[in-house]
Amino acid sequence: MNQIKTAMLLAGMTALFMGVGFLIGGRGGMMIAFLIALGTNLFSYWNADKLVLRAYNAREVDERTAPDFYRMVAALAARAELPMPRVYIVENDQPNAFATGRNPQNAAVAATTGLLARLTPDEVAGVMAHELAHVQNRDTLTMTVTATLAGAISMLGNFAFFFGGHGENRNPLGLIGVLVATLVAPFAAMIVQMAISRTREYSADRRGAEICGNPRALASALAKIAGTSGHTVNLDAERNPATAHMFIINPLNGQRMDGLFSTHPDTQNRIDALLSMEAEGGFGGSFLAPRAAPQAPARPGPWGGSSVPPRGRGRPGQGRRGPWG
């Protein structure tokens, strides 16, 4: 059902793109807009992940440069029976994370330094499991293509002021058509983009909790991220608002509502759903790195080689080196 709904929403965005072209330049403008939409989709399919990672200055890491974080993602990917994604760290104090890529074989996951510094290892595991759930559900392609189309529709609407109402293919509604293309179409594109995002976050939360085996850890992570993100400005996200729906929590400052203009469901609703999952039972509690696929022997980590501190031990930062390299 989610795939059908997403296909319908993407088709709606393409139709909206064509509608803006019609309002700008009549039938000729509509055909040009259709060709641009096709080209945008093809370009996004192959390059959207690179554009997003570059926009946030993401730095790729491996087992040598960020051993515990990399092994944690590897263990989670093994649990989910996914190919190992590329792993990135974004230098940003706002705790957040996102996934991108056209399919599980070409996926990437990224976490901010703020996330790694502020969350416990179990909570980080819950967040990264959520992102891997997006990869497994093939949400990443839809989300990146939608972001590109939404931005293109907004840009096309801005062109209406300069090109609308001129020449043989002028729009049939005159000034009203220009105003619709300039104001209403980008607004409608934003609504479609948000609808796609919100329909997928709940399913990614549920699958992520199954992957990490700890719904409460993911619920705790969501509460911490939501409580901090509104007070920490993410300048890269503010410059690229069309990518906001790709993050686990809306990175745009001050966006907390669960109404029409939110890219994400209300955080408390997501937390309640995760705690309901925990009440159903069948979860093993703490995420443990030894359940990962066999790997070469690793150097002792801050907790004796494990990505999670033994019960009763202090949290990272209490007189010892942090876990993320």
Tell me the catalytic residues.
131
Written as six digits, the tokens of 324 are 């993320």
Distance CA 159, CA 182 (A): 8
Distance CA 153, CA 17 (A): 6
- The distance from CA 33 to its chain's CA centroid, rounded to whole angstroms, is 27
- The distance from CA 251 to its chain's CA centroid, rounded to whole angstroms, is 10
Written as six digits, the tokens of 126 are 């819950």
> Where are the extended beta strands (E) located within 19-106?
59-61, 86-90, 97-101
Residue pair 81/45 in contact (Cβ under 8 Å)? The answer is: no
Phi, psi of 219, deg, nearest 5: -60, -45
The amino acid that residue 141 corresponds to is: L
Distance CA 238, CA 11 (A): 27
Q: Which residue has the tokens 């189309």?
A: 149
Residue pair 153/185 in contact (Cβ under 8 Å)? The answer is: yes
The amino acid that residue 142 corresponds to is: T
Written as six digits, the tokens of 197 are 């995002």
